[in-house]
Structure 1
Amino acid sequence: MFDRNGPLRITATVAIATSMVAGCSSMSGDSEDEKLRQMVTGTTSAPSTLDPAAAWDGSWELYKNVYQTLLSFPSSSSSPEPDAAKRCGFTDTASRVYRCTLRDGLKFSNGNALDSRAVKHSIDRVMTIKAKSGPLGLMGSLDRVEAPDKRTVVFHLKKSDATFPFILATPATAIVDPESYPAKKLRKGNKIVGSGPYTLKSYSKGKKAELSRYEGYHGPAKPKNDVVTVEYFQDSAKMVKALKEKKIDVAYRGLTPGQVSGFQKAQANGNQEIELTELLGSEISYLVFNPKDRMAGNPAVRKAIAELIDRKALVRNVYNRTTDPLYSMVPGGITGHTSAFYDRYGEPSKDQARKTLSEAGIDKKVPLTLWYTTDRYGDTTGETFAELKRQLNKSGLFDVTVKGRPWSQFVEGYSKGKYPVFGRGWFPDFPDADNYVAPFVGKNNALATPYDNAQITDELLPQSRKESNRATASKKFTTAQKIIAKDARLLPLWQGRVYVASLKDVAGVEWVMDPSTLPRLWELHMKSSW
């Protein structure tokens, strides 16, 4: 996505659970509230809007729990399976016509029927409204949607795209009620009409969302709690404070590597009250080189940097080993992942970098400015660029300067081609290698920095999208990753991890994140309450 991270941090993604507050079903009491299975969660990722047509960001975390999509990702797989749909599939061998049949008895939380007309309406309004912050960019291959009868939806694609089922599993295609969500404008207000596992009982922008289990939900999710309160925090320090004071039960998003390390050390010292579970994450961090810049546009300069950057030192010195070195734009855990940059450039080598520059006629220190955003990815971003500066300058081959700007200024700067090298982060829209390659190549890519490579854009990507078997398609991405490493227009740095820490009495945390690391709040519960 252009940056689903939104207010998320480019640090480890962490969920932390502590003891339940009063009202949990594991506690005795006579009131109705005390009989409900309740969870209170905290996050630094507040929704920017409640209308799915206007959000391609962290708002998806709430949408995942209140809206329904035709497909979703199951706990045990990164391949989409039916959700609001009873069954879906391509009806042709070219992967250009996709048909879904809806489940029986689907209803929105206001009682209106969820039928094929609602699905068509939901997709059409995204393409009609074209909100600047919306997910229209994911609909590039879609030509039109048909609803031939109440339970059948047919998607006609402009070109072959075997990744389309993955898109239908994202909140970009959340199904909304036609009577509640206008066809040509965004819905306003603090209410949601959906058909997901929860209804939105109340909402205070940037502060709190109260969710209640939706009894009319029909889908694969099996909620293990009845009520979830989501508290939104401006920073992780306040969230951790609330956690320690037991004002919240679960916290996800935004914790710093130092805070993660603190929990790890506590556990190593025998504190068994908090159990830490580590999962493979899908978030990546990388550098982008401006081809029009005098220095960054020189292949020898880019390759010398690729030969110098010590990713292991970066994740050790800055991230306390809460991230992993990344040697490809496609991270580990995604089908098609390789170590293309390591295979091509090997371990960091000053001698090799000097040779690369010398052969290109560069015998003096290379002046270069690296840019980063100061308020998008967390405090560790500045530390990351300080470490990169240290490594490159220590080689004696570069004279690096580091500069930071607030997100709005940062985007404006790199969009106008002002930055020689700049850092970006990426959280995938869906867990497929395509979503780690396609957004960054071509003339009009997500980085506003053209990367023209006809072999990738005109051959490998179109060919891969004809393969409904994504394992087969991975061969094309192996080649694409080799090309990206050779060009060194993009330089992967690290891959995030997902940490789930919980009190020994909290269950379900191992399933709380889906393959796109969106929270499935319905999995959380106390062991004694289920």
Structure 2
Amino acid sequence: MNRKTWVLPSVIGLLAPVLAGCGGLGSGDSDNKPIIVGTGDVFTVTKKVPAPFDPAYAYDIGSWNLLRQTVQSLMRIPRGGGEPEAEAAQECSFTDSGMQRYVCKLRDGLKFADGDPITSKEFKYSIQRVVNIKADSGVRGLLTNIQTIQTPSAREIVFLLKAPDATFPYKLATPTAAAVNPKLYPPRKLRTGFALDGSGPYTLKAETKGQVLTKAVFSRNPNYKGGLKLENDKVELRPFTDPEKMGDALTDGTIDVIAKGLSTKQTEDLQSKPPEHVNITEMPGLEIRYLAFDTDDAAVTKPVRRAIAQLVDRGQIVTQVYGTSAEPLYSLVPARIAGHTNSFFNLYGAPSVDKARKILTDAGISTPVKLTLHYTTDHYGPRTKGEFAVLEKQLNDSGLFQADVKSAPWDVFRTDEIAGKYKAYGMGWFPDFPDPDNFVAPFLDIPNFPNSPYNNDTIVKKLLPDSRREADRLGANADSLEKIQDIVADDVPYLPLWQGKQYVATRDDITGAEWALSTSSILQLWELGRGVGG
């Protein structure tokens, strides 16, 4: 049966959050206390990851969430999702029918946090800097469709694109396109370490131990001019490597919020019986997890990949490892995004050892097939280990595979993955922006985020460009998107596994929890306020 889901992106963030516990309202002497937020994201500086907070390098959700508090882009995604709105810009729009000329007019009087003025030339410098540095993180791919940037006046900036791209406003809403001060950010060299300066709603003071960030202190930026309303003056973000210790810190009031990093058990316990003065808010999310394959490697040919797709039981992974915080995913484009279709379910149906065996037999492949699955230990949370244990068992129990699992910390894993050292490996994706293009182009275009050798001419030369020409992002590009998803299901360069939900836990004197994370997992610290506990 062909099952599809069609939901407008703008609707996603408007789905009512589910709140357990009692919330607090009002104000009091506690209003001036900093709000302390715990997170499972850990930030380190290494030789392989030298500049985690430089917009020309950063390309992971954790780093981007710190950048979004501190740097300012021309556009921003509204807190409830939908089309981008002006941020550092006063207004922006395409000025041609072909969507290749995009013009922005800046707000008057923009300044960096240190008081230096911002003009169109600073934005041009910052965006060209990302493209010129060519960081191995792949973040420059968001901006490589820019042909030229013109600055006819101090407040006007004109982008001429190489090809039509209706998603360009979304790309200008990412930290990658934010303004940085040329005095602090060299034109062709990364700014290493944890230094981070911009014109966003907050300034950042980073506290470290060795090469590890122990606390990020965000203070209201008096020079900020933008569309955000801040509900607080100061927020402290504290990374935790142990979910249980983070949970204990929330229960005893050491921290006020957990924005990311709850374990499955913690989430279920908080939902069923929250501690006194603690709330948990459930929100829809667009995080996805998937297996990626080196499609040029003879060990994972198309029949092998298709056999794995026929064997993997997503429901078992979700039930045993993630519980209510995830749901099976049958496409790179998640449910609740316009254009989603269950292509993998439509093609493979329920998991079947017999069907997988036939795929391998018809291709003349002897069994068991030896295979190593790789995953990272410290980037997507501790539950990843359990996920790969289930995957390993599913493959081996079929008798068709002899699989084992290896792991590495993110700085090693990501470097080796980009270098093509893995045949099959697990990755996650938080969207750069809530448009279906951002769930296909980063994986299938050339170049792409995983540095995959997979190259399908129909996708790259026809379907992606056709989709980007459609200004109506709510359905006019559906035919191209459906064909892309069906090709991926047939070729299996990637195997989607699950789609996540989001949970924010707070003390009951904290307001704004329902907006603390957007559907794209954007951390919106400015939405948090302090009231009176119930």
**Do Structure 1 and Structure 2 share a fold, with TM-score over 0.5?**
yes
Aligned to 2:97: 93
Q: What is the root-mean-square deviation in Å for CA atoms of aligned residues?
A: 2.9
The alignment status of 1:65 with 2:69, answered yes or no, reads yes
Amino acid of the structure 1 residue aligned with 2:152: P
Cα shift readout 1:325-344 (whole Å, capped 9, x = no counterpart)? 00001111222111110111
CA distance in 1, matches of 2:364, 2:273: 53
Question: Post-superposition shift, 1:223?
Answer: 0.9
Question: Post-superposition shift, 1:261?
Answer: 2.2
The alignment status of 1:45 with 2:26, answered yes or no, reads no
Amino acid of the structure 2 residue aligned with 1:142: I
CA distance in 2, matches of 1:145, 1:191: 27
Aligned to 2:312: 309
Q: 2:258 aligns with which of 237, 247, 251?
A: 251
Aligned to 1:153: 157
Question: Post-superposition shift, 1:416?
Answer: 4.9
Q: Give the 3 Å change call, closer, same or farther, for CA 293–181 of structure 1 in structure 2.
A: closer
Q: 2:462 aligns with which of 459, 469, 473?
A: 459
Please list, as runs of the form range in 1=range in 2, the aligned pairs for 1:282-301 lying within 5 A after superposition. 282-297=286-301, 299-301=302-304
Whether the aligned pair in 2 keeps the contact of 1:17 and 1:501 (CA below 8 Å) is: no
The alignment status of 1:438 with 2:461, answered yes or no, reads no
Q: % of aligned pairs identical?
A: 44
CA distance in 2, matches of 1:17, 1:68: 34
Amino acid of the structure 2 residue aligned with 1:283: E
Moved more, 402-411 or 89-98: 402-411
Question: Post-superposition shift, 1:92?
Answer: 1.4
Where 1:321 maps in the other structure, the secondary structure is helix
Question: Post-superposition shift, 1:318?
Answer: 1.3
Cα shift readout 1:368-399 (whole Å, capped 9, x = no counterpart)? 33222333323222211111121222223333
Cα shift readout 1:414-453 (whole Å, capped 9, x = no counterpart)? 4454433222222221222112112222564322331121
Question: Post-superposition shift, 1:27?
Answer: 4.4
The alignment status of 1:476 with 2:485, answered yes or no, reads no
Q: 2:185 aligns with which of 171, 181, 189?
A: 181
Aligned to 1:323: 326
Question: Post-superposition shift, 1:349?
Answer: 2.0
Q: Which TM-score applies when normalising by structure 1?
A: 0.87
Question: Post-superposition shift, 1:25?
Answer: 9.3
Q: Give the 3 Å change call, closer, same or farther, for CA 491–176 of structure 1 in structure 2.
A: same
Amino acid of the structure 1 residue aligned with 2:40: T
The alignment status of 1:495 with 2:491, answered yes or no, reads no
Structure 1 unaligned segments of length 5 or more: list them.
1-13, 29-33
Number of residues of Structure 1 aligned to a counterpart in Structure 2: 504
Q: Give the 3 Å change call, closer, same or farther, for CA 451–336 of structure 1 in structure 2.
A: same
CA distance in 2, matches of 1:195, 1:386: 45
Q: Give the 3 Å change call, closer, same or farther, for CA 125–366 of structure 1 in structure 2.
A: closer
Moved more, 99-108 or 356-365: 356-365
Q: Give the 3 Å change call, closer, same or farther, for CA 487–505 of structure 1 in structure 2.
A: same
Question: Post-superposition shift, 1:363?
Answer: 6.4
Aligned to 1:389: 392
Whether the aligned pair in 1 keeps the contact of 2:256 and 2:510 (CA below 8 Å) is: no
Please list, as runs of the form range in 1=range in 2, the aligned pairs for 1:362-441 lying within 5 A after superposition. 362=365, 364-411=367-414, 413-441=416-444
CA distance in 1, matches of 2:329, 2:227: 34
Where 1:169 maps in the other structure, the secondary structure is coil
Moved more, 419-428 or 518-527: 419-428
Amino acid of the structure 1 residue aligned with 2:520: S
Aligned to 2:5: none
Amino acid of the structure 2 residue aligned with 1:275: N
CA distance in 1, matches of 2:499, 2:396: 24
Amino acid of the structure 2 residue aligned with 1:483: I
Q: Give the 3 Å change call, closer, same or farther, for CA 272–236 of structure 1 in structure 2.
A: closer
Aligned to 1:260: 267
CA distance in 2, matches of 1:187, 1:295: 40
Question: Post-superposition shift, 1:480?
Answer: 0.3
Whether the aligned pair in 2 keeps the contact of 1:441 and 1:452 (CA below 8 Å) is: yes
Question: Post-superposition shift, 1:251?
Answer: 1.9
Q: Which TM-score applies when normalising by structure 2?
A: 0.86
Aligned to 2:232: 225
CA distance in 2, matches of 1:490, 1:190: 33
Amino acid of the structure 1 residue aligned with 2:327: D
Cα shift readout 1:430-485 (whole Å, capped 9, x = no counterpart)? 22211211222256432233112111011000111112221222321111001101
